[in-house]
Structure 1
Amino acid sequence: MVQSENFGEVVSRRAQDASEAASKNRMWDVMSNLWCPSTNPDGYVNVGVAENVLMHDQLLNFINTKLSLPAKYLTYNDGGSGSFRLKRAISHFLNRHLHPAIPLDPSHLIVSNGVSSAIEHVSWAFADPGEGILLGKPFYGTFIPDMSLRPRTTVVSVNFGDCDPFSIEAVAKYEQALLDFQQTKGRKVKALMLCHPHNPLGRCYPRDVIIKLMHLCQKYKLHLISDEIYALSVWENTVDQHPPPVKFESALSIDLAGIIDSRLVHVLWGMSKDFGANGLRLGVIISQANDDLHQALKGISLYSYASGVSDHLTSLLLEDFEFTNQYIRQNRKKLSGSHAYAVKYIRSHDIEYAQGCNAAFFLWVNLGKKYRQLHPDENNDEDVGDKIMQLLLQKKVFLASGALFGSERAGWFRIVFSQPREYLIEALRRMTDALALED
Structure 2
Amino acid sequence: MTPVSQHELLVTSGVAALIDTSTWCICDDSDGIVIPQPLYVGFEIDIQMRSRGQLLPVSFLESDRKYSIDHAFEPEANRRAFERAYAENTAKGIKMRAVILSNPHNPLGKCYQFISALSIDLEGIIDVSRVHIMYGMSKDFCANGLRLGVLQTRNEDLLEAVASINNAAFYLWVRLIPSRLIDIDDPSTPSLDVKRMKKLFVDTCTRNGVSIKDGANYFAEEPEDGWFRVTFTVPNAVLEVAMERIAKSLEDLGWLGMF
TM-score, scaled to structure 1: 0.35
Give deviations 1:154-185, integer Å, cap 9, x for gaps: 0111111216011122222112112211212x
**1:72-83 aligned within 5 A:** none
Q: 1:201: how far off? A: 1.1
**1:263-302 aligned within 5 A:** 263-287=129-153, 289-302=154-167
Query: In structure 2, what is the Cα distance between the partners aligned to 1:196 and 1:279?
Result: 19
- The runs of 5 or more residues in structure 1 that have no matched partner are 1-100, 207-247, 305-439
Instruction: Work out whether 1:145 is the aligned partner of 2:45.
Output: yes
Partner residue in 2 for 1:212: none
**Is the 2:21–2:166 contact (alpha carbons within 8 Å) kept by the matching residues of 1?**
no
* Amino acid in the other structure paired with 2:139: K
Query: In structure 1, what is the Cα distance between the partners aligned to 2:59 and 2:94?
Result: 19
Q: Which runs of 4+ in 1 moved over 4 A?
A: none
Q: 1:200 aligns with which of 101, 107, 115?
A: 107
Q: 1:303: how far off? A: 5.1
Instruction: Work out whether 1:124 is the aligned partner of 2:24.
Output: yes
**Is the 1:156–1:178 contact (alpha carbons within 8 Å) kept by the matching residues of 2?**
no
Kindly tell me: are residues 194 and 178 of structure 1, through their superposed partners in 2, closer, same or farther at Cα, counting changes over 3 Å? same
Q: 1:179 aligns with which of 77, 87, 90?
A: 87
Query: In structure 1, what is the Cα distance between the partners aligned to 2:85 and 2:122?
Result: 25
Give deviations 1:28-81, integer Å, cap 9, x for gaps: xxxxxxxxxxxxxxxxxxxxxxxxxxxxxxxxxxxxxxxxxxxxxxxxxxxxxx
Q: 1:103: how far off? A: 1.6
- The runs of 5 or more residues in structure 2 that have no matched partner are 62-66, 170-259
Query: In structure 1, what is the Cα distance between the partners aligned to 2:24 and 2:79?
Result: 25
| SS of 2:51 mapped into structure 1 | coil
* Amino acid in the other structure paired with 1:107: H
Q: 1:276: how far off? A: 2.4
Query: In structure 2, what is the Cα distance between the partners aligned to 1:188 and 1:166?
Result: 25
| SS of 1:194 mapped into structure 2 | coil
Instruction: Work out whether 1:134 is the aligned partner of 2:34.
Output: yes
* Amino acid in the other structure paired with 1:254: I
Q: 2:125 aligns with which of 237, 244, 259?
A: 259
Aligned residues: 162
Greater helix share, 1 or 2?
1
Query: In structure 1, what is the Cα distance between the partners aligned to 2:168 and 2:32?
Result: 24
**1:89-238 aligned within 5 A:** 101-161=1-61, 162=67, 164-169=71-76, 170-184=78-92, 186-206=93-113
**1:33-48 aligned within 5 A:** none
- RMSD of Structure 2 on Structure 1 (CA): 1.8
> For the pair shown, which has the larger CA radius of gyration, 1 or 2?
2
| SS of 1:205 mapped into structure 2 | coil
Once the two structures are aligned, what percentage of the paired residues are identical? 42
Query: In structure 2, what is the Cα distance between the partners aligned to 1:302 and 1:136?
Result: 30
**1:54-65 aligned within 5 A:** none
